[in-house]
């Protein structure tokens, strides 16, 4: 037995020694440790790039325009649920944080707070790094300060007051945090904007936050805060016990308007932004200018841009053309302007369009606000050359949403209708999207890489005008409104009082069409019930002439509608999900849910 012991122990000993355990001390080869990240300004910059990357890139088909009276989306389910105010804490439908449509995800409660944590973590660690200069450090801190405020702005716009969280939680912390009041939230965002503005440079890369971006965010935030909805004492909410969560309770509203005006003026006073193509030489030039604002990567009008995922190029904006172009160009007709939107465009002389006016009815697309032509594709309007397999049927590249009488008396639709090619993608309203879509991009093959203009100068001018109107400073408001109208090729406004207010709202609706404002504007002006009516469209018929050929088209409002919409007061704000309510018992649900 002695032998055995010796052999066993010697052999095992050799084996044990030969197996140095150090080889188990591996580290991941494709990840950075937190120590490495927080000591390196370059890695911190990459980290903040990640926060930028997770911002909401609005365009697509499932964008806020399809949740208000601008467009109607096809291809996403649950839209009618949302637009009929039927969402509830059990089912947020397309607005759920895990909805596959993705476009809206970054705006969801979950994803927004995830990105807020990324900001909080930054603030807690940025001092560990040694920066080459204070200004470099100030800038990055200013950027993240802006970013966090920007994310909070979206959360508050959708939910009212939300929990303001400024620290990064760790496992084991007490996670239950109550909602802050609406007023606290507004003050927090505005304060952060001031901090950011003080730290940030005036100029630089526009996809990064600048002083202008911080001031513009402040302007938008204070405008919303001064509006009817936030100052309604929750009168719309029945006997809601916590009006402080959804608006101001008491206080001086005029002060709020003055703050909103000052915030907008602060951007204007930077004197670094100007309207693109501010003085067009002709109507054509005006149309082209309004279109090109969005087809240039950057102009002097831009304040803050949101760029896209370069590696995948896969955020919806890049597929704008493919998702929304007419089916006759092999597009998917995803989001199309609705009849109510088109009908509301003024005539080029500033008068209203009217179906009962025979001249208007005969040629509804003639002599309209030039922005109409830069925004909407309509029957007979030029888009671009048809794809090779269709070009023979339409060498001119004109949109065909009309229906042509056949010798047997039936009607056959044009190329961009349900009788055209890829007919399942036809938009029944008879209109397609033009704004934001770069016609030079071959939609079935190429992706569009234009950035999204999250803040542009025209919005600030309008914010300023609105505050001025509310403060009774009409000439000042008219001055700025007319700058915008001039660029659009529209005659000046001379109205006052309610008429001026109406003109202002017209300007805002069509200057900022599809730019994610209308959804909030109809709520803060508390005119949402007008904005949610069943989706209308156009009916265009080409009748055969006795001698052959077609008579000029007959236009009429289509008696059919395509999506049921109805506004109920619960839909002023989003609910907090049942799951989140049970995870955080300190939360209070929004009214009417």
Site for another protein in 456-515 (CB under 8 A): none
Contact 116, 160 (CB under 8 A): no
Residues 94 to 113 in contact with another protein, rule: CB under 8 A: 96-100, 109-110, 113
**Residue 459, both tokens:** 């919005």
**Residue 578, both tokens:** 């049942």
| Binding of another protein by 138 (CB under 8 A) | no
Tell me whether residue 30 or residue 252 sits nearer to another protein (CB atom).
30
Query: 127, 269, 274, 418: which one contacts another protein (CB under 8 A)?
Result: 418
CB of 516 to another protein, least distance (A): 18
Q: Could you tell me which of 327, 326, 550, 538 has the C-alpha nearest to residue 430? A: 538
CB of 310 to another protein, least distance (A): 4
Contact window for another protein (CB under 8 A) among 310-318, 354-362, 369-377, 477-485 = 310-318
**Residue 441, both tokens:** 């991009």
Contact 512, 374 (CB under 8 A): no
Strands 452-456 and 302-306, bridge-based pairing: antiparallel
Hey, which bits of 109-226 come out as E strands? Answer: none
CB of 85 to another protein, least distance (A): 9
Contact window for another protein (CB under 8 A) among 163-171, 193-201, 231-239, 272-280 = 163-171
Q: Could you tell me which of 99, 59, 60 has the C-alpha nearest to residue 82? A: 99
Contact window for another protein (CB under 8 A) among 127-135, 167-175, 191-199, 496-504 = 167-175
| Binding of another protein by 17 (CB under 8 A) | no
Query: 63, 276, 308, 555: which one contacts another protein (CB under 8 A)?
Result: 308
Query: Using CA atoms, how far apart are residues 483 and 275, in angstroms rounded to an integer?
Result: 8
Contact 348, 283 (CB under 8 A): yes
Number of residues that bind another protein (CB under 8 A): 119
Query: Using CA atoms, how far apart are residues 237 and 1, in angstroms rounded to an integer?
Result: 90
Tell me whether residue 77 or residue 251 sits nearer to another protein (CB atom).
77
Tell me whether residue 519 or residue 571 sits nearer to another protein (CB atom).
571
Query: Using CA atoms, how far apart are residues 575 and 568, in angstroms rounded to an integer?
Result: 13
Contact window for another protein (CB under 8 A) among 126-134, 192-200, 385-393, 396-404 = 385-393
CB of 393 to another protein, least distance (A): 5
| Binding of another protein by 425 (CB under 8 A) | yes
Task: Specify burial of residue 4 (Cβ count, 10 A radius: 0-12, 13-18, 19+).
Answer: exposed
CB of 227 to another protein, least distance (A): 26
Q: Could you tell me which of 239, 235, 267, 147 has the C-alpha nearest to residue 195? A: 147
Binding mask 176-195 for another protein (x = CB under 8 A): xx------------------
Query: Using CA atoms, how far apart are residues 498 and 515, in angstroms rounded to an integer?
Result: 25
String of b and e for 106-120 (b: at least 16 CB within 10 Å)?
A: bbbbebbbebbebbb
Tell me whether residue 8 or residue 278 sits nearer to another protein (CB atom).
8
| Binding of another protein by 15 (CB under 8 A) | yes
Query: 78, 326, 328, 591: which one contacts another protein (CB under 8 A)?
Result: 78
Residues 223 to 282 in contact with another protein, rule: CB under 8 A: none
Contact 387, 381 (CB under 8 A): no
| Binding of another protein by 442 (CB under 8 A) | yes
Query: 271, 356, 389, 497: which one contacts another protein (CB under 8 A)?
Result: 389
Query: 134, 171, 349, 358: which one contacts another protein (CB under 8 A)?
Result: 171
| Binding of another protein by 407 (CB under 8 A) | no
CA 510, 515, 518, 524 torsion-angle sign: negative
């Amino acid at each position: 037995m002695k032998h055995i012991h010796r052999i066993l122990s010697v052999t095992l000993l050799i084996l044990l020694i030969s197996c140095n355990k150090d080889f188990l001390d591996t580290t991941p080869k494709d990840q950075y440790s937190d120590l490495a990240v927080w000591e390196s300004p370059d890695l911190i910059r990459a980290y903040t790039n990640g926060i930028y990357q997770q911002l909401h890139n609005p365009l697509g088909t499932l964008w806020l325009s399809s949740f208000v009276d601008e467009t109607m989306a096809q291809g996403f389910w649950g839209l009618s649920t949302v637009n009929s105010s039927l969402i509830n804490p059990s089912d947020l439908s397309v607005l759920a944080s895990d909805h596959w449509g993705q476009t809206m995800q970054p705006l969801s409660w979950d994803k927004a707070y995830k990105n807020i944590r990324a900001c909080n973590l930054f603030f807690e660690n940025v001092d560990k790094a040694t920066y080459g200069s204070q200004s470099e450090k100030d800038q990055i801190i200013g950027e993240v300060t802006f970013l966090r405020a920007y994310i909070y702005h979206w959360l508050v716009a959708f939910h009212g007051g939300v929990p303001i969280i400024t620290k990064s939680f760790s496992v084991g912390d007490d996670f239950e945090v109550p909602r802050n009041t609406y007023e606290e939230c507004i003050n927090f965002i505005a304060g952060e904007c001031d901090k950011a503005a003080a730290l940030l440079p005036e100029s630089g890369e526009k996809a990064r936050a600048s002083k202008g971006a911080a001031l513009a965010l402040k302007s938008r935030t204070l405008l919303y805060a001064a509006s009817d909805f936030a100052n309604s004492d929750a009168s719309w909410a029945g006997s809601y016990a916590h009006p402080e969560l959804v608006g101001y309770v008491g206080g001086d509203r005029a002060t709020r308007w003055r703050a909103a005006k000052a915030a907008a003026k602060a951007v204007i006073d930077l004197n670094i932004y100007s309207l693109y193509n501010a003085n067009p030489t002709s109507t054509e030039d005006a149309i082209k200018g309004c279109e090109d604002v969005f087809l240039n990567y950057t102009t002097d009008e831009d304040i803050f841009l949101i760029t896209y995922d370069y590696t995948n190029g896969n955020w919806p904006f890049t597929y704008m053309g493919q998702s929304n172009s007419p089916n006759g160009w092999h597009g998917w007709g995803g989001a199309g302007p609705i009849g109510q939107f088109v009908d509301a465009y003024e005539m080029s002389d500033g008068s209203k369009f009217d179906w009962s006016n025979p001249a208007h009815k005969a040629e509804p697309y003639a002599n309209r606000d030039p922005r109409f032509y830069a925004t909407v594709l309509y029957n007979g309007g030029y888009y671009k050359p048809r794809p090779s397999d269709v070009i023979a049927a339409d060498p001119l590249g004109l949109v065909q949403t009309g229906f042509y009488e056949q010798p047997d008396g039936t009607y056959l639709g044009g190329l961009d209708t349900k009788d055209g090619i890829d007919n399942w993608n036809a938009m029944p309203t008879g209109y397609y999207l033009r704004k934001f879509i770069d016609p030079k991009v071959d939609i079935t093959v190429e992706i569009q890489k234009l950035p999204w203009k999250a803040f542009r100068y025209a919005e600030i001018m309008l914010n300023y005008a609105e505050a001025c109107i509310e403060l009774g400073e009409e000439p000042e408001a008219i001055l700025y409104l007319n700058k915008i109208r001039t660029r659009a090729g529209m005659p000046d406004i001379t109205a006052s009082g309610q008429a001026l207010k109406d003109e202002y709202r017209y300007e805002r609706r069509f200057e900022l069409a599809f730019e994610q404002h209308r959804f909030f504007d109809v709520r803060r002006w508390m005119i949402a019930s007008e904005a949610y009516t069943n989706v209308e469209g156009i009916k265009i018929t080409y009748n055969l002439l006795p001698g052959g050929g077609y008579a000029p088209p007959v236009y009429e409002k289509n008696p059919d509608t395509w999506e049921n919409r109805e506004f109920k007061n619960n839909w002023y704000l989003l609910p907090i999900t049942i799951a989140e309510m049970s995870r955080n018992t300190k939360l209070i649900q929004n009214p009417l849910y």
